[in-house]
Amino acid sequence: MDGLRAFLEEDVPNGDVTSETLIPATAVSKAVVTSGGDGILAGAEEAAWLFADGGLEVRSIKHDGDPVSAGDEVMHIEGSLREMMLRERVCLNIMMFMSGTATETNRVLKACRAVNPRVSVAATRKTLPGLRALQKKAVRLAGGESHRDSLSHHILVKDNHIEAVGGMENALQALKSAPATIIEVEAETEQEALAAAAAGVDIVLLDNMTPAEAGICYRSIKGAYPNVLVEVSGGIGPENAPAYAEFADRISMGHLTHSAPSLQFSLHIL
């Protein structure tokens, strides 16, 4: 949590000159944070920590992962009015940003599971530098997964890797000496997908396929290698994700972390 102070330092490099001009240093007050829309709450833990880090008393009404509706009270705050004003924007921004991601994840996941109750939805590495942990946490709070937290997480052989080593056959051969970790291979054709599955990889990623193409590959892989996890990705958003749900164990999509709209929150002085 200590890293959250960097967000505050960005917004308050040399004090809050407005509050320090208008508000007496001894002024104390109470405030309430309310939701401006319907969704899934995320970032409340981080916001509460930042408020408390300024000596403010915080009482949480809603908790991360809870559904919220417009007008719901999320937390009560009491203490120095200057500190409330100084921390308000950063705390609300964190909640708005993370809750937006959680809300969108929940929406997409529900739509996909209406088609396939077993499918999972995962966030990719398409995150803002420095904010990945918060974005991935928001996805998980809404029931989603993290595809990879970093390049160190597990092996994912992508098209550029395959091109760099001279083709799929060479890539699969090189994987025989891979360290003990999850191995995932991206495939753009049914032939590549079956070759990867036959080589004993853990996950085959069907990249940039139509739902019909993904369906053909999925049935071929599962028919011969039922324990291989099939993931689909590439060009998938909330509108077409359900069309892939029947032909995937997991759907990974950058949309969850780079295009989710924020959920509004406000702080009201009482």
Residue tagged active-site, from 72, 104, 186, 188: 186
Residue tagged active-site, from 126, 132, 140, 222: 126
Is 207 assigned a catalytic role?
yes
Cα separation of 55 and 17, whole Å? 19
- Sign of dihedral through CA atoms 125, 126, 132, 138? negative
Is 186 assigned a catalytic role?
yes
Residue tagged active-site, from 64, 184, 192, 207: 207
Is 11 assigned a catalytic role?
no
- Per the CB < 8 A criterion, the answer to whether 63 and 117 are in contact is no
Side chain identity at 113, as an amino acid letter?
R
- Per the CB < 8 A criterion, the answer to whether 210 and 234 are in contact is no
User: Dihedral angle at the C-alpha atoms of 117, 148, 143, 69, nearest 10 degrees?
Assistant: -130
Tokens of 6: 């960097």
- 241 Cβ contact list (under 8 Å, min separation 6): 108, 111, 112, 121, 251, 253
Residue tagged active-site, from 89, 107, 113, 132: 89
Is 246 assigned a catalytic role?
no
Q: Partners of 44 in the beta sheet? A: none
State whether residue 266 is helix, strand or coil: strand
Residue tagged active-site, from 158, 159, 202, 213: 158
- Known catalytic residues are 89, 126, 158, 186, 207
